[in-house]
Structure 1
Amino acid sequence: METIKHTGISPFLNDSSYVVYRNVKDYGAKGDGIADDTAAIQSAIDGTVAPAKSLKPALIYFPSGTYRITSTLKMYIFTQLVGNPLDMPVIKADKSFTGLYLLDGFPAPVNSTIVTTIVFYMQLRNFVFDTTAVDPRSTVACINWATAQAVTLSNNHLVMPVGSMHQGIAMNGTNGGGGGSATYMGILKITGGNIGITLNNQQYALRDVEFTNVRTGLFINHIFTASLQGMVFNNCSFGVNNTVSSPKSSVGSVVMIDSSAKSVGALFVAEHKETADGSVVLENISIDDVGTAILSHTGESVLPGSKKQTTIASYILGTLYKTEITGAYSETSEVIKRSSALLDRTGKYFTRDRPQYEHIPSSLFSSVRDFGCIGDGHTDCTKALNKALAANAYRKVTYLPAGTYIVTDTIHVPVGSRIVGEVWSTIMASGKNFADESNPRVMFQMGTPGTRGLIEVSDILFDVAEVLPGAILVENNVSGPDQGSVGLWDSHFKVGGTENSKVEVQCPSYPPTGTYNVTSCKAAFMFLHLQPESSTYIESSWGWTVNRDLDGLTGSTNGTSQAIAVGRGMLVESKKSTWLVGTAFEHCTLFQYQFVNAQNVYVLMAQTETVYWQPSPPAPAPFTVNPKYYDPDFSNCDGTSVQCYMGWSLRVIGGSGFAFYGLGFWQFFNGLGGCPGAYCQDNILSIEENPKHMAIYNLGTHTVKNMVTVDGEAKVTSAQNAGGWGGLIAAYLPFAL
């Protein structure tokens, strides 16, 4: 990153002087541990123009060194702060440091009207944050991270004085309130301090976080569903504290798997009540010298610890469905068999860190600019991009500098491709080839059916330039020789809300009162299709049918609401293996996630929202049911309730080997005008054709009547399972055997 030629642009900003890539040393930062680098770093983050949304992407790079700061640094939407991963730079607070956080990821200015639920598109990776020089009585936090989707916090080390009141990661929004709608953080080391991470968000997937000499590793102030994998607690008083009692729903439900604790007083402190709130699911947890595995908020031991190393194979504390009839509040140690295709050599679920190519010299990066792709948002890049990919396969990393790359036909990604963008370089479909809903066409095709090899994609955004009802944004056909050989990291899908896109202009905005015609805005057919022979690892990925034009036609801070229709979210037919870690798909007409005869699927937290304009028109409108893609026809609806004709968050049709750890399925509106009763939607999760070996843990819903339906019949209702953000169950296991 330090030596490659940076030619990224923001094509619709109308400012040719704008600089995307900024090395903090070019702005005066010394990194010598002596100079006060605060102003220089902030100048690099701010750039030459005031930051604002996707028109002003910024990649702020920190070479190795120690950067002394005396006050809070602020970052913004569509900004990435990246350190040298080979020798991570240190952000060190001076002993005279003033401020609540070393880095505030909640956008400036202080009086911003931006809410945490639209703090999208940010990255912070490869840093050491050090507060050891600050008064140990201070409650300073290394990072404030009150964020939402398409945000990644990864590969960072937070160092605080042992025994101090310092905090690692806080999540504080406007006026100190929490919130946000985030999906993923991981690969973190947190040492010392009072609290490692304070969760204050709607949902989260955390993986591979190590807490050492922290009083409380994870403190849950507010969460509806949290999914934790690979947590390591060493010498902590408390591992996870989940006992906030006001409001009661704030403690939600937590699942923790493939984790360990050594020399810990209490691994988990829970609100042990006969209610859905405070549910705990533990699976494959190694404990050694742990006083209590689960401690109730009243101080009673719910699950004992052990002085010697032992493993908690499985434990569920909460509402459990084992048959078609609801079970009572349960405590169980029943173990569900895992699919071997999804596991690493130790028996844990396989994960793979995002490739950063830190050991590859810049000479082995090939810019698509050299093939004629200038990314100006106007020039057709189809032939040039295909040429670049063909030339680079198994030879070089294909690099897309920041920009918008228009394509008018399928981009063919051969096996052997490694593709990396810069602040979400955008590949955008355009033209008649993607316009036919009855004959959909793939924009970004990874391999051909049955091919095997490696394909890696990171920091790419997939979008459409106009209303294209036949556009399938991405399709994968490839499986690799090894687990995780084919993957997408920090790559997202978005339709709408983009400056200069005809979707922004042609698709109607809709206020709480007024009319709109979404039929004229069938903007894309599908976000992502995983074909039967594929095997795919996906981490920190968001598919978003835009409900808010963030570029802001009206100039409003939170953007203009738009009525846009995308037919389908993610369709998975893979019979090999699929890993989804910290993903979200939202606002699609027919379904957000759909698995058809799929096999070997691992999900660590999946989040959805139903599109705001439904049920007007009622699904499947404005799209036509296409049996080739197993579209739901809503024949389960009898016509008595229009709220039955709304997009599914999850459909599982046949198949085998499913492990769902954390599902947050939210619904808020019926046409932005609120809901006529207690529920905005009748059904949200459909199980059909008797899938085998399927376990669902930690399912939460919001304003949904029926939480689970089986072959069209309601099996789990919110009324029976009030908790969390509406309905909450710890486990649904009738199909587990």
Structure 2
Amino acid sequence: MRLKAIVLAALASVASAAYWMEEMQHQGVASFNPDKSYQVFRNVKAHGAKGDGVTDDTIAINNAISSGNRCGGGPFCNGTTTTPAVVYFPAGTYLVTTNIINYYYTQIIGDPTSMPVIKGSPNFQSYGGIGLIDSNPYLNSGTLQFKATNVFFRQIRNLVFDTTDVPGTVAGLHWPSSQATSIQNCIFKLSSRPEDDHTGIFMEEGSGGMLADLVFYGGKQGAQFGNQQYTMRNLTFYGSKTAIMQLWNWGWTYKSLNIYDCEVGINMSSNAVGSVTLLDSRFVNVQTAMTTFRGASHVNSTGSLVVENVDYVNVPTVLQGPDGPLLKGNPSGLVHDAGYARGNTYTPNGPREYEDRDQVYFPQPTTLKQNGKFYERSKPQYESYATYAFLSARSYGAVGDGITDDTAALNHLFQTAANTQGAVAYIDAGYYKVTDTIHIPGGVRAVGEAMAAVILGAGPKFADINAPQAVVQIGTPGEAGRVELSDIIVSTQGGTAGAVLIQYNLNPPAGPSSTVAEMPPSGLWDVHTRIGGFAGSNLQLADCLKTPDAAVHADAKCTSAWLSFHVTKKAGNVYVENSWFWVADHDIEDFNNTQISVFAGRGVLVEGKRVWLVGTSSEHHTLYQYQLLNATDVFMGQAQTETPYYQPNPPAPFPFTRIDTTLGDPDFHTDCQSVQYGANTTINSDGSLTLGGNPACAMAWGLRILGSKNVVIFGAGLYSFFNNYNVNCSTLRSGENCQARIFWAGPLNPGSGFSTSTPPRDTGAGNPGKFVMSHRPPFHSNKTTGSTGETADPWVQVYNLNTVGSVSMITRDSKDLAGWNQNLATFANTLALFHY
């Protein structure tokens, strides 16, 4: 009770206090850094920055970032997890005269209650860098310091980037980036002088990622984006010449985009653009909302576009093609687009080139929406909380050195946080070794430090492949409640073949309504699983070197997880954003990022109801990356996967050879018997495919949807780059034959439903026929399954599916439907819409 009273008093006095991060005691450690004096938290003012808008703070800020022999600043380090840092900016204006160079594994965080300004001086000069902050500078060799597809675990939030005084060409931020990275709650103030060329964010490479809650003012381009895939939410542009220049992509999802008073909204006229998905957005006083290179006679799948629930106010041209307007707007009024698609479609057979606004292809799952838009929620930063509300893991007895058993201490911390109104469990940076399950009850709020707060499952409790156990259990089965968790990593150490890294069991609290407004979901932001490839994991190069020349080999000490993330069958109502469920393909600590072989059975398993997976990735699990099993009401936004590099040596499911039918494990022996092989990939008379190139079938699924209903996927990138560590299979020349199949959708029992009959079509394997649909039957029959009123026929809707290395892009109820050679686009193959 005394602690409860202290916390409540602290909350009441917060108005006169600084942001809690600035005032709290910082006890975080870099557990596997040999320098025990290494400092995780750095306040730039403690390193000499003034923040007065007059003093040149460049050197002081760069010192705050680089001190402690960190990874960056030259070609001597390609990545490490041993030097994490939080670089904190108190309120103020920080004048800089050249680039601030960001380092690997860095969180740059400003005070959200009074956002600090990074202001470029009139004499600002770039010396090899790009932008006020350069997160991956170019070396003298002309290459980026860090390989962009290996830039992980970094964040920037709560900053204002001001380039208005800088003449010429400049960017606010250079951000080539990949998984587990984010920019949140930042403002970019850019010059709009005709002689200047300013952009807020310049991103040209990587495999990301998440951007959210950003505002751009002015600039020749508000932002320039090029990356394999990205999810971007709540970006707002005012007065840019071009709001977004889409340089290239395989797949991109924009949600809640707001563009005002710009000449062009999204310029996707590069033929290197694979697909763009746009939903819940608004263009106001924009001359041309979008431009595309894809004209009326376009013959491949590049430039695929899907739009849902977008308003155009005073917009003369909605979509401009190479030969003129493709979609006209209203120069002095409103045009509302409930749904529009342009690209190849499978409904379920195809391909057909589709370009229309047929609303039956845009179902409205109200249970996933709030105020007519798909639900979204930003990572909490607890701006109104006082320092005393944060309960430190180390103050509660946890050591975090990666050696001491911290199980009891963490369980005590989370139970106290659940019982204390207004408390937040603060997981100081460190590796918290646990030998039994960590229980996080409903009601817990928890935040980690530096994305280096790691819960490390180890020991015999998690070792039995036939008796899986949760490392972290969020709620007990049947428990009601909600949690908020952010910036926490769950990992394993050594041979832990029975480890379920995160098990989510919570149900919504009982109430009269199922609306999101009355029953908001739990939230997990930047809650990652990381299996192997880091210091302290005992799953590095010296332990788990790849073995491409050893047939069907899997080292028991490198078999280190049974399942990464599980939403159990009676659980649900959870929002997950920017989480990466990663089985390491390489050793981050190794200078050459040498490949390793680490085995983990299953990626993300969703059995529950009402789940949002926003900007998530799941990679290198043996059986599958994502599986929806009897799930209901699921939103996925730009989900991304990779097949294990070692497969098919050993083939799936090895070493997880025991099939768990209760969890819908794939039976590769049975499933692969339905593959039809031939000399070339062609369409058969029943709409199914014969697969050419003799691709391996016993390979991990990127995505399986079994017996699930009301599933909507706005962008998916399912990639298979390797066969037994050989990358040649994923090229166009090879026939994209790394694996036979990658995406399965159908009932629990193959062959039990979902007819593949379809109207007449072009059955050749060449270019798809043009098919513009205006009237189609609705998704659902009028039959119901009883008193619930639910429709008898479920639906699954996938927009902008992009695959690499799989001969079949879609397998529906054991039949392969979409061939890679029918949907040629960029390096990835693309189709705009799949429905059953």
- Taking the aligned partners of 1:305 and 1:698, their CA distance within structure 2 comes to 27
CA contact (8 A) 1:404 1:426 kept: yes
1:135-163 per-position Cα deviation (integer Å, ceiling 9, x unaligned): 1xx12000000011100111100001234
The one-letter code of the counterpart of 2:528 is H
Q: Tell whether 2:735 aligns with 1:710.
A: no
CA apart distance, 1:508: 2.5
Match of 2:450 among 410, 423, 426: 423
- Alignment TM-score, normalising by the size of structure 1: 0.94
CA contact (8 A) 2:541 2:587 kept: no
Match of 1:699 among 789, 801, 821: 801
Provide the residue aligned with 1:657 in structure 2. Answer: 710
CA contact (8 A) 2:541 2:596 kept: no
- Taking the aligned partners of 2:637 and 2:70, their CA distance within structure 1 comes to 37
Unpaired segments of 5 or more residues in structure 2? 1-20, 72-78, 510-517, 678-693, 748-753, 755-792
CA contact (8 A) 1:76 1:107 kept: no
CA contact (8 A) 1:318 1:331 kept: no
Q: Tell whether 2:561 aligns with 1:524.
A: yes
Alpha carbons of structure 1 residues 139 and 480: separation in structure 2 relative to 1, 3 Å: farther
Match of 1:125 among 152, 157, 166: 157
CA contact (8 A) 1:472 1:524 kept: yes
Pick which of 510-519 and 223-232 moved more.
510-519
- Taking the aligned partners of 1:719 and 1:108, their CA distance within structure 2 comes to 36
RCO greater where, 1 or 2, for CA within 8 Å and sep 6 or more? 2
The one-letter code of the counterpart of 1:380 is D
- Taking the aligned partners of 2:281 and 2:504, their CA distance within structure 1 comes to 31
Aligned residue runs from structure 1 range 86-97, under 5 A: 86-97=113-124
Q: Tell whether 2:58 aligns with 1:22.
A: no
- Taking the aligned partners of 1:66 and 1:449, their CA distance within structure 2 comes to 50
- Taking the aligned partners of 1:474 and 1:595, their CA distance within structure 2 comes to 16
The one-letter code of the counterpart of 1:711 is D
Unpaired segments of 5 or more residues in structure 1? 172-177
- Alignment TM-score, normalising by the size of structure 2: 0.83
Q: What's the Cα RMSD here?
A: 1.7
Count of residues in Structure 1 that have an aligned counterpart in Structure 2: 716
Provide the residue aligned with 1:174 in structure 2. Answer: none
- Taking the aligned partners of 1:225 and 1:693, their CA distance within structure 2 comes to 23
Provide the residue aligned with 1:604 in structure 2. Answer: 637
- Taking the aligned partners of 1:310 and 1:114, their CA distance within structure 2 comes to 44
Q: Tell whether 2:135 aligns with 1:105.
A: yes
CA contact (8 A) 2:269 2:293 kept: yes
CA contact (8 A) 2:695 2:738 kept: no
- Taking the aligned partners of 1:512 and 1:36, their CA distance within structure 2 comes to 54
CA contact (8 A) 1:509 1:516 kept: no
- Taking the aligned partners of 1:495 and 1:683, their CA distance within structure 2 comes to 25
Provide the residue aligned with 1:387 in structure 2. Answer: 412
Match of 1:490 among 522, 526, 531: 526
- Taking the aligned partners of 1:665 and 1:183, their CA distance within structure 2 comes to 15
Partner SS, residue 614 of structure 1: coil
1:14-72 per-position Cα deviation (integer Å, ceiling 9, x unaligned): 11111000000000000000100000000000013232521000000000000000000
Q: Tell whether 2:147 aligns with 1:115.
A: yes
Match of 2:619 among 576, 579, 586: 586
CA contact (8 A) 2:461 2:469 kept: yes
CA apart distance, 1:392: 1.5
Match of 1:160 among 185, 190, 194: 190
1:366-421 per-position Cα deviation (integer Å, ceiling 9, x unaligned): 11112210100100001111111111215211111100000000001111111111
1:525-551 per-position Cα deviation (integer Å, ceiling 9, x unaligned): 011000122221011110110001001
- Taking the aligned partners of 1:262 and 1:591, their CA distance within structure 2 comes to 43
CA apart distance, 1:608: 0.6
Provide the residue aligned with 1:410 in structure 2. Answer: 437
Alpha carbons of structure 1 residues 30 and 296: separation in structure 2 relative to 1, 3 Å: same
The structure whose residues are more often strand, as a share, is 1
The one-letter code of the counterpart of 2:31 is P
Q: Tell whether 2:71 aligns with 1:71.
A: no
Partner SS, residue 131 of structure 2: strand
- Taking the aligned partners of 1:505 and 1:327, their CA distance within structure 2 comes to 47
The one-letter code of the counterpart of 1:692 is P
Q: Tell whether 2:579 aligns with 1:541.
A: yes
- Taking the aligned partners of 2:58 and 2:481, their CA distance within structure 1 comes to 46
Match of 2:460 among 429, 432, 453: 432
The one-letter code of the counterpart of 1:630 is G
- Taking the aligned partners of 2:531 and 2:330, their CA distance within structure 1 comes to 49
Partner SS, residue 71 of structure 1: coil
Partner SS, residue 301 of structure 2: coil
CA apart distance, 1:602: 0.8
CA contact (8 A) 1:77 1:107 kept: no
Alpha carbons of structure 1 residues 477 and 90: separation in structure 2 relative to 1, 3 Å: same
CA apart distance, 1:515: 7.1
1:435-477 per-position Cα deviation (integer Å, ceiling 9, x unaligned): 1111100010000122222211111011001111100000111
- Taking the aligned partners of 2:549 and 2:102, their CA distance within structure 1 comes to 36
- Taking the aligned partners of 1:323 and 1:372, their CA distance within structure 2 comes to 57
Q: Tell whether 2:818 aligns with 1:725.
A: no
CA apart distance, 1:323: 3.6
Provide the residue aligned with 2:602 in structure 1. Answer: 568
Pick which of 505-514 and 6-15 moved more.
505-514
Q: Tell whether 2:123 aligns with 1:83.
A: no
1:596-649 per-position Cα deviation (integer Å, ceiling 9, x unaligned): 010111111101111100011111111122223211011221397561110000
Match of 2:746 among 665, 681, 688: 688
The one-letter code of the counterpart of 1:443 is V
Q: Tell whether 2:399 aligns with 1:341.
A: no
Match of 1:257 among 267, 271, 279: 279
CA contact (8 A) 1:615 1:642 kept: no
Q: Tell whether 2:178 aligns with 1:148.
A: yes
Provide the residue aligned with 2:291 in structure 1. Answer: 269
Pick which of 292-301 and 516-525 moved more.
516-525
Provide the residue aligned with 2:505 in structure 1. Answer: 477
